[in-house]
Amino acid sequence: MTDDNTPADRLHTPVLLERVVELLAPALQAPGAVLVDATLGMGGHSEAILERFPDLVLVGLDRDPEALAIAGERLSRFGDRVHLVHTVYDGIADAVHRLGFDQIDGALFDLGVSSLQLDRVDRGFSYSKDAPLDMRMDSTSELTAEIVLATYSEADLRRIFRDYGEERLAQRYAHRIVEARQEHPFVRSAQLVDVITQATPVAVQRQGHPAKRVFQALRIEVNQELAVLERAIPRAIDALTVGGRIVVESYQSLEDRIVKRILQAKSTSSAPAGLPVELPEHRPELKLLIRGAELADDDEKAANPRATSVRLRAAERVRRGS
C-alpha cells in the first residue's frame, strides 16, 4: 500500500523497463520520433524513455484523470516533447491525428489495472480492502461495479464471471448475488466478498482467494477492457510507420490471447496455399520480435512483484497494409 503523500516518482516501478526500452529503441533513434504510451499510468515507462531519447516526442494516453495529473507533473520537465490525452486507448488513432502526426514510430501498451488504481483503496479494485464498489478506471464514466451487481440479470452475471474471470463457479456466484441483492444492495466490496466466500466450498478456498476472479471479471466489464483491446491493437499497428515497433505487456491470459492472435495474424502471409509466388499484398505486415511470450526472470520478479504474471510481446512493422 502506498501513502497518498508518496512522491510520484516512487509510486510505480515499471515492469520490464530495460527490456521494453531495448525493444523500442531501434524505432526511436531518429530526431522527432513519436512514441505513443497508450497506457500512460503514472508515467514510469515514459519518463525513462524520454530521458534516453532526447529528441523523442511522446503522446501519452490514459482514461484515468488522476493518473494523467500525476504523469503530467512527473513529465513536465520535458516541456513540449510531451502531449497528454484523456482517452481510452482504442482512441489512439484519433489522438495521434488531432495532434498532427501522420504516423508514429512506437506504441507501448502496459495493460491491466495500474498500481495507482490498486493502491487507492477507494477505487474499489481490490478484494482485500473494503471500499465502494466502483472499479472505474475513468472516474468520469457512468458504469460502476455497483451498477453491474444491481442491474445485470443472473445470466449476464454468469456470463461475465465465466468469460472474463474464467470462473468455474460462475453460475453459483451469480445465483447467490441475485438472491442477496433482494435483501441488501451491494455497495461495498466487503459485502461481495462475504457472499462469494460463503458460496465457495472450503476445498476451493484453499486454492486461493475466492473473490479474485469475480473482481477481475467485474473490472473488465466496467471498463470494457477486452473489447477496447480488440480495437486498440490493430489501430496502433495501422498508425505505425514501416520500421515502427509495438510492445505489449499483458498480465492475464484473456488479454494475452487477444494480443497473440492479432500479432500472429499480422505477421503471417495471407497468400493462398499453393500459390507459386507470394504477391506483395500478401506479405506479412509485421515481424515478430519475440518468439512466443517473454516472461520476467527471477531477479525482475523479486524486484517488482507485479512482474510475476507479465507476458511480453513485440513486433516491428515491415509493410504497409493494403
Residue type at 238 in one-letter notation: D
CB atoms within 10 A of CB 246: 30
Q: What is the DSSP string of 241-273?
A: EEEEEEEEEE-SHHHHHHHHHHHHHHTS--PPT
Cβ(20)–Cβ(108) under 8 Å? yes
127 is in an annotated binding site: no
164 is in an annotated binding site: no
Most distant CA atoms of the chain, gap in Å: 69
251 is in an annotated binding site: no
184 is in an annotated binding site: no
147: burial class by Cβ within 10 Å (0-12, 13-18, 19+)? middle
In 3-state terms, what secondary structure has residue 59? strand
Sign of the C-alpha dihedral, residues 221, 227, 229, 235? negative
Residue type at 2 in one-letter notation: T
Q: Which element (helix H / strand E) includes 217?
A: helix 212-223
182 is in an annotated binding site: no
Pairing verdict, β 311-317 and 240-250: antiparallel
117 is in an annotated binding site: yes
44 is in an annotated binding site: yes
The C-alpha atoms of residue 295 and residue 313 are separated, in whole angstroms, by 9
Cβ(238)–Cβ(94) under 8 Å? no
Residue 36 phi, psi (nearest 5): -100, 115
**Per the structure block, which three cell numbers stand in for 19?**
527490456
Which residues, other chains included, contact 10 with Cβ-Cβ below 8 Å and sequence gap of 6+? none
Residue positions forming the annotated binding site for S-adenosyl-L-methionine: 43-45, 62, 89, 110, 117
Residue positions forming the annotated binding site: 43-45, 62, 89, 110, 117
